[in-house]
Structure 1
Amino acid sequence: MDSPDPPDCTPASLGFEVALAQVLGTLTPLPGREEVPLEQALGRVLAQPLLAGMDLQPWPNSAMDGYAFAVADLDLALGEGLTLAGTALAGHPFTGRLAAGQCVRILTGAILPAGADTIVMQEQVIVEGPRVRLTAAVRPGSNVRAPGEDVRAGEVVLPAGSRLGPPQIALAAALGQGHLTVTRRPRVALFTSGDELTPLGQPLAAGAIYDSNRYLLRAMLEEMGVSVVDLGIVADDPDAVRAAFAAARAQADVVISSGGVSVGDADYVRDVFSEFGDIHFWRIDMKPGRPLAFGRLGETWFFGLPGNPVSTAVTFLQFVRPALRLLEGEPASPPLRLELPLLEAVHKAPGRLDFQRGVLSRDATGRLGVRSAGHQGSHVMSSLAAADCLMVLSATAGDLPAGSLVQVELLPWRATTKP
């Protein structure tokens, strides 16, 4: 569970929306850009707009397999039929020009022959030797893809700040772009804090736990394509925390810690950081994850995340992930949230915005809804692994009965399915 707050704990908690706006309003994209081959550009962010250097498609071509002819010959095509003059294939165009009364067999993607302006699909013709007769009238220009129908030369096809996914990569390739100019990715230093943390492969002492948060955070960072500097486990000792911050400042744009930002006697991270830089805030009215620190260490940004694993994951998703995207040059945008009915009642105490783990499911009628992924304690990792979404429950809400409409935010990973 999140640590209780003593009555004299200051400063007061910030509202979630205020805190997020402060983070995103403070950060600016990192300087620096590089040119990369197109095959290495997946997941990167464009540093400058991509302009089309040509029309797409660059020439008129066929949208399907059929026969190309001039619509002026339509009456002849419906009556006696047209004379087959040759074949046009993708990459192997028909050479020459159609004469009156002629047609060409054409396959999808092939250039429209000179003298033709219309294509009839092969299912609408009868072929009798060299004669091709239409069985139904077609409109002028049918089944012809016009030059520039997709993109016009000089048009901005991808603005700066676009995240390059498979469709964007394909679009750049279709325009002949072998290299793209992209922004610099953030370098992130990461450490976990706590004398109870034990490295993997070592036996657990009484009261100790394995260091799962560092693996959780590293995996979420690597999933984003971020360069990670892993500083390991830092002891609950001010000098050790100082050394970690010094190392992080020397080699990273962002430093993320997990643990040590609450109000316990051995929570040194926040206090030691104050010797190096400025803390903007360190308490948020959200659950899980109230103890969340954000500040600046010279040119390095700092996120101090809580120590409970679910709190770590939720604060990373809601604050760190959008911050890293912004630093990489992607414009800030609110997460996509769906409004879905609860398939079962959900317990919630009024007071804080609550991100509860959920599972998308369908009711007996096939209607999509959401149910709890299980135990909602901030230490329970099994329900985090079982969740495919977060139910975003307002601060004022109390217990919610089945059928209530709630906001749902999809998680960026697949849920564990139970056998």
Structure 2
Amino acid sequence: MMKAPLTPVEEALAHLLDKAPVITATEHLPLTESCGRILAQDYQAPADVPPADNSAVDGYALRAEDYAPDRALPVSDRIPAGSAPAPLQPGTAARIFTGSEIPAGADTVVMQERVEATDGSIRINAEVMANQNIRRRGQDLAQGSLALVKGTKIRAQEMGLLASLGLAEVTVVKKPRVAILSTGDELVDPGQPLGPGQIYNTNRFTLLALLAEAGCEVVLSETLKDTRAATQETLERAATQADLIITSGGVSVGEEDHVRAVLEASGELSLWRLAIKPGKPLAFGAVKGTPIFGLPGNPASVLVTFLMVVMPYIRTCQGRLRVHPVGQQLPAGFDVTSPSVRREFVRARIESVDGETRVSANPNQSSGVLSSACWADGLAVVPEHSTLAAGSLLTYYPFTELLS
């Protein structure tokens, strides 16, 4: 059988993202449960945030025109946070605390470290200017302004901002339902003894963690028997339960690689063999209308292809604002002397070498090795048909960026 040509990474991504169905189903969640979810609508500020001018420091509120270097100002009021202050009496100061509302008539706040307080009055040991140390009403958000847009991933800062709008619930995109299917009679779950020729099922647990990071719900996780009939039955069953199927292994050219054969015979195979290293034997298609990624069987290949190929697809399905990761341009700390027809994603990390920042590559880049990915903090890109000299710039993707 003639092998399919290798598809360039950009061409493959364009094809995949064009095929990605955007999820329209939504759900309402308590704000406390929304971290990591994707906003399903825009949110405007229903009122000014903050709702009133307030103090940025602990100190004293006064009129700037009442200040003089040798003048003592009587303290006429004390304004704790959460209280409604009375208007400031001219020629006086009010004790005020961080977050407290500025009284009418005051136009500046002097921090307490710049004040000498004695016998109910204060003397100021610093220059005083109008508007200092005051957070103005609507400084964060003006009433009616756009606070967050549809497609935003809710992180800690977004949760805080939504809370500042007074929202107890938010509308989010429903999680994609994903089926994970591992292939290989040699696979054994952790906790069980290994027999002759058996290995532990690494890929299932890598994918479980990656899908959790991606905001997906795993609805099925099984190991396929190495037969054509069992593979077809399980794939068709998974298609009725999931929005997306992800398999590991079974997409190469061996006699026991049944996933690709089933897709070709009774499903749809629209992509196979990428110009990517590791991860060349990646397949994409559909079973009974349900999209399926057939990832390679090697553990590092599963990690790399998920991060660089599957993750942008999932982000597109979620309606995310940003689909592609943003890389950093950093100097390489290693050489590549032999160009490849495939784009290589090197397990790497940022280190200081002789006082200079460099991207160092793990010496073991085998597709069957995960320990190098644990050592690494991200992936460095070696473009196809290219060599690389230490010190030259390369694109580096931190894992945190790839999973954001």
TM-score, normalization by structure 1: 0.91
* Aligned position for 1:387: 376
1:408 matched to 2:401? The reply is: no
Q: Distance in 1 between matches of 2:263 and 2:10?
A: 24
Gaps of 5+ in 2: none
Given candidates 67, 90, 114, the residue that maps to 2:81 is 90
Note if 1:66 corresponds to 2:59. yes
| Separation in 2, partners of 1:412, 1:81 | 55
| Secondary structure at the counterpart of residue 43 of structure 1 | coil
Change (3 A) 1:137 1:210: closer
Residue 359 (structure 1) shift:
2.1
Alignment of 1:340 with 2:330, yes or no, is yes
Distance (whole Å) between structure 1 residues aligned to residue 95 and residue 254 of structure 2: 80
Give the corresponding residue for 1:103. 93
Q: Which deviates more, 405-414 or 98-107?
A: 405-414
Q: 1:413 to 1:146 in 2, by over 3 A?
A: closer
Q: CA deviation at 1:228?
A: 0.7
The reply on whether 1:9 has 2:9 as its aligned counterpart is no
Shift of 1:174: 1.3
Q: Equivalents in 1 of 2:318, 2:289: separation in Å? A: 15
Residue in structure 1 matching 2:71, options 75, 80, 97: 80
Does the 8 Å contact 1:388/1:413 carry over to 2?
no
1:155-182: CA deviation from partner (whole Å, max 9, x where unpaired) = 1110000000000000111111100000
2:345 is matched with 355
1:251 counterpart = 2:235: no
* Match of residue 290 from structure 1: 280
The yes-or-no answer on 1:43 pairing with 2:31 is no
In 1: Cα distance, 2:161 partner to 2:149 partner: 13
**How many percent identity over aligned positions?**
38
Partner residue of 1:373?
362
What CA deviation, in whole Å up to 9, does each residue of 1:345-394 have, x standing for no partner? 346542210111112211121x3211112311111222122211111100
Structure 2 partner of 1:163: 153
Alignment of 1:167-206 (within 5 A): 167-206=157-196
Q: 1:222 to 1:333 in 2, by over 3 A?
A: closer
Which whole-Å CA distance do the structure 1 matches of 2:26 and 2:204 have between them?
Answer: 29
Cα deviation for residue 403 of structure 1 reads: 1.8
Equivalent AA in structure 2 for residue 9 of structure 1: K
Q: In 2, distance between residues paired with 1:204 and 1:137?
A: 76
**Contact (CA 8 Å) 1:24, 1:332: kept in 2 or not?**
no
Give the match's secondary structure for 1:20.
helix
Structure 1 residue 200: deviation in Å? 3.3
1:115 aligns with 2:108: no
Retained in 1: the 8 A contact 2:315–2:323? no
Q: TM-score, normalised by structure 2?
A: 0.94
Output the CA distance in 2 between the equivalents of 1:391 and 1:348. 16
Contact 1:231 1:244 in 2 (8 A): no
Greater displacement, 193-202 / 335-344: 193-202
Q: CA deviation at 1:332?
A: 4.2
Aligned length: 402
Matches within 5 A, 1:271-310: 271-310=261-300
Which deviates the most, 79-88 or 405-414?
A: 405-414
C-alpha contact (below 8 Å) 2:179/2:219 kept by paired residues: yes
More moved, 208-217 vs 47-56: 208-217
What residue is the counterpart of 2:227 in the other structure? 237
Residue matched to 1:325: 315
Partners of 2:370 and 2:221 lie apart in 1 by: 23
Q: CA deviation at 1:327?
A: 1.3
Alignment correspondent of 2:127: 137
Question: What CA deviation, in whole Å up to 9, does each residue of 1:232-291 have, x standing for no partner?
Answer: 211221110111111111100000001111111221101212344321111111111111
SS of residue in 2 equivalent to 1:9: coil
- Structure 1 counterpart of 2:386: 397
Hey, what's the Cα distance between the residues in 2 that align with 1:203 and 1:347?
43
Distance 1:413 1:322, change over 3 A: closer
1:26 and 1:116 map into 2 onto residues whose CA distance is 60
Aligned twin of 2:45: 52
Please list every run of 5 or more consecutive structure 1 residues that lacks an aligned counterpart in the other structure: 1-5, 415-419
Cα drift, residue 149 of structure 1? 0.7
Deviations 1:288-335 (A, max 9, x none): 111111112344211000111111111111111121122122134321
Q: How far, CA to CA, are the matches of 2:242 and 2:195 in structure 1? A: 33
Displacement of 1:202 in angstroms is 4.0
Matching residue's letter, 1:45: I
Spell out, residue by residue over 1:136-170, the C-alpha distance to the aligned partner (whole angstroms, 9 max, x if none).
Answer: 33221211111001100111110000000000000
Cα deviations by residue, 1:88-131 (Å, 9 ceiling, x for unpaired)? 1111343x322221111111111111221111222333333233
- Amino acid in structure 2 at the alignment position of 1:253: D
Paired residues of 1:198 and 1:204 also in contact (CA < 8 A) = yes
**C-alpha separation in 2, matches of 1:157 and 1:348:** 50
